[in-house]
Amino acid sequence: MHDELARFEAYLRTRGLRMTRPRETILRTFLETEGHLSADALLRETRKVDPRIGQATVFRTIHLIAEAGLAREACNDEGARTYEHLAGHPHHDHLRCSQCGRIIEFCDPEIEQRQAAIFAQFGFEPQGHMMELTGVCPECRRAMVARRSRQ
């Protein structure tokens, strides 16, 4: 946590920007929340600490946090963009149920390795990737089967 605050401040300095009270409140709140968070959800959480923080500031700050390498976009399927922080949170990808929205996080070393190979094959300098598998989770499958047999 301290580590992240320091890293954020360092990043801001390299860009001639300042670590301010609202920025610190937003970052602390963000780091305390696990899971995927939209800007709006982050605004609500942040306002529990300081109710006069503005929406625009949250949008501006979450961008800065991502640029500083402390967060990344999680999913962007529809509706609001969501972010997840990277503190004590190793890299992973997402498996999502299209029926109930449940998200499972996983990491597959073989896939990661192949991805690196593809960057190399096309001469790209790697920056990142996003992979999301979509399907129907076991619970929802059961519910679907039950519904079908009832009819």
Binding residues (CB under 7 A) for DNA: these are 12, 16-23, 38-40, 50, 52-57, 59-61, 63, 78-81
Integer Cα distance of 114 and 101 in angstroms? 28
What lies within 8 Å, CB to CB, of 46 at 6+ separation is 25, 26, 29, 53, 58
Task: State which of residues 1, 6, 49, 100 lies at the interface with Zn ion (CB under 5 A).
Answer: 100
Nearer to a copy of itself, 23 or 94 (CB): 94
CB 18, min distance to a copy of itself, A: 26
Are the C-beta atoms of 104 and 95 separated by less than 8 Å? yes
Task: State which of residues 3, 35, 77, 80 lies at the interface with a copy of itself (CB under 8 A).
Answer: 77
Integer Cα distance of 18 and 121 in angstroms? 41
Binding mask 78-107 toward Mn ion (x if CB under 5 A, else -) reads ------x--------------------x--
Are the C-beta atoms of 85 and 70 separated by less than 8 Å? yes
Residue 140 is a binding residue for Zn ion (CB under 5 A): yes
For the chain, how long is the longest CA-to-CA vector? 65
Integer Cα distance of 94 and 42 in angstroms? 21
* Stretch of 31-39, 89-97, 103-111, 117-125 contacting Zn ion, by CB under 5 A: 89-97
Task: State which of residues 51, 124, 146, 149 lies at the interface with a copy of itself (CB under 8 A).
Answer: 124
Interacting residue ranges for Mn ion, rule: CB under 5 A: 84, 105
